[in-house]
Amino acid sequence: MATLTALEKDWPWDQKHRCKSMLNNEILSDVKFVVKASRNFGQSDTKRSKVVIPAHKILLSICSPVFYAMFCGNMAETKEYIDLPDCDFEGMLELLRYIYTDEVHLNGNNVMEVLYLAEKYFIPSLASECTDFLGRNLDFSNLFCVLHHAQRHEKKDLLRSCWDLIDKETEKALKSSEVMTVERSIVEQLVKRVTLNVREVELFKAVDCWVKRECKRRKLEEAGSVKRQVLGEEIVKNIRFPIMTQNEFMDVVPKSKILTPEETNMIINYFSGTVTSAVGFLHDHRLGPPLRCCRFLGFNHRKYIDAELGIDDWLPFTIDKAIMLHGVSLLGNDGGEFAVTVQVSFFADPEDDEGDDGDNDTDSDDEIVIASTSGTYISGRRENGQEFHYGYDVKFDEPVDLFEDFLYFISVTADGPGHCLGGNNSIPVSISGVEFNFNPHLDEDVPDSVCAELLFKVTE
């Protein structure tokens, strides 16, 4: 018994947390990764020292098919020290922490590195943890970096969150330092968006700053013709010079020399009324973010409906003016994740069908689905003036045209942790000259629904 006690004293492992005690531990290590030390503020890559992280091939191979091929394949790596020039210490340590313990300590400084490593070594569960973290912590310091990643790896939900924030806070997004380093393709997508919420002159200033920096990066002359070539016609033609004021245009655009003298004179003549159109340039104002029609008078965010069995409900409504429905805002909770499908439909009367041969013996109307979307969403706090609630927006890929005198239905199915409650319904609701009625049959109660708001724009 005394001998066993002595052995236990010298034994290096924690019985309760066996793999955890092996993390970054030299004992029994059979491979060592050489990585860059974590970056200090202002430190260049060339001045960063190297750090060695010990690891254990068997644990790595069990968790990652890439590591398995590296250590157990036909061309197995036999060197004890493996240099990873594309990794730094903090990111690699968190990758190993997840492999050894199923835990990861993410923050704003390491999440992109960990995400890169999770995808490099094909550990999708860790990549999902990183993506969820980014969705919950998206801000202007990481917005365009996350956007680039979401586009590159086709992460639809994260991409939607990025563009939603850009649409809502365009001016703040354009003033972030990150926007100056984005790829040209993102600049093109930016100027093409009709939902930006910014004065056109501010958008042009940001584009001009970006192209100046790009010319400097490429060691090109900052002449107007060079800037025009770097930008390309798609970007220039999607900047809406005619909707600027004359003073805004004259103060900023001519000195950039991005437009030709002929184009500049044409737009000046348009401002003065000499010509009725600036040919080749868009005249329509950007629409900005959608309007919101809230169907509740208030919210009860202290009480929740348990959604353990999932959500499956619907909401009828009518409108008295044509709109474009961009999406809906659904009730949620503080930080919950929801897998959601939203569908918009109406019912066509079979008696009105053209070409009816009289053989239709059904008494029920035919449901016609006009829009549907699915995805995973993170719920959070939503401000409503003096009120707030917890929820999340679900937007369609393209706005849906809705017309007066139709009875529409929004159907929602969702799996998630439950949702807060809406207060009493406000019936009807009038927003920007459109009246929404959520009780089209006065003899019926308004159904319970997680649908809190309709996101729309008035059809012009």
User: How far is Cα 118 from Cα 92, in angstroms, rounded to an integer?
Assistant: 10
Q: Which residues of the chain have pLDDT under 50?
A: 1, 41-44, 350, 353-363
Q: Please give the pLDDT value at position 443.
A: 56
Judge: domain 143-272, CATH 1.10.260. no
User: How far is Cα 292 from Cα 457, in angstroms, rounded to an integer?
Assistant: 9
Q: Which of 29, 76, 70, 77 is nearest to 53 (CA)?
A: 29
Task: End-to-end CA distance of the chain: give it in Å, rounded.
Answer: 88
Q: How many CA atoms lie within 13 A of 205 on its CB side?
A: 16
Hey, what CATH class is 291-350+365-458 in?
mainly beta
Q: Please give the pLDDT value at position 442.
A: 54
Q: Please give the pLDDT value at position 9.
A: 61
Helix (H) or strand (E) holding 299: strand 299-305
Angle of the 224-231 helix axis to the 184-192 helix axis, nearest 10: 80
Tokens representing 400 are: 């849906």
User: How far is Cα 33 from Cα 94, in angstroms, rounded to an integer?
Assistant: 13
Q: Which of 458, 411, 450 is nearest to 295 (CA)?
A: 450
Where does the chain hold its CATH 1.25.40 domain(s)?
Answer: 143-272
Q: Please give the pLDDT value at position 16.
A: 58
Where does the chain hold its CATH 3.30.710.10 domain(s)?
Answer: 13-134
Q: How many CA atoms lie within 13 A of 206 on its CB side?
A: 27
Alpha helices by DSSP H, listed for 170-240, are 170-174, 184-192, 200-218, 224-231, 233-237
Contact 286, 199 (CB under 8 A): no
Q: Which of 105, 79, 80, 81 is nearest to 92 (CA)?
A: 105
Q: Please give the pLDDT value at position 136.
A: 82
Judge: domain 13-134, CATH 3.40.50.300. no
Q: Please give the pLDDT value at position 43.
A: 47
User: How far is Cα 422 from Cα 334, in angstroms, rounded to an integer?
Assistant: 15
User: How far is Cα 268 from Cα 254, in angstroms, rounded to an integer?
Assistant: 10
> Looking at the DSSP assignment, which residues form a beta bridge with residue 31?
55
User: Rounded to the nearest 10 degrees, how much is the dihedral formed by the CA atoms of 245, 249, 251, 253?
Assistant: 160
Q: Which residues contact 291 (CB under 8 A, 6 or more apart)?
A: 431, 432, 455, 456, 457, 458
Sign of CA dihedral 298, 301, 306, 309: positive
Q: Please give the pLDDT value at position 381.
A: 81
Could you give phi then psi for residue 295, rounded to 5 degrees?
A: -90, -5
pLDDT (tens digit per residue) in 222-240: 999 999 999 999 999 999 9
Spell 251-277 as b/e; 16+ CB within 10 A means b: eebbebbbbeeebbebbbebbeeeeee
Q: Please give the pLDDT value at position 7.
A: 54
Sign of CA dihedral 128, 130, 131, 133: positive
pTM of the model: 0.64
What is the 3 state secondary structure string of 437-458?
Answer: ECCCCCCCCCCCCCEEEEEEEE
pLDDT (tens digit per residue) in 94-134: 999 999 999 999 988 898 899 989 999 999 899 888 988 88
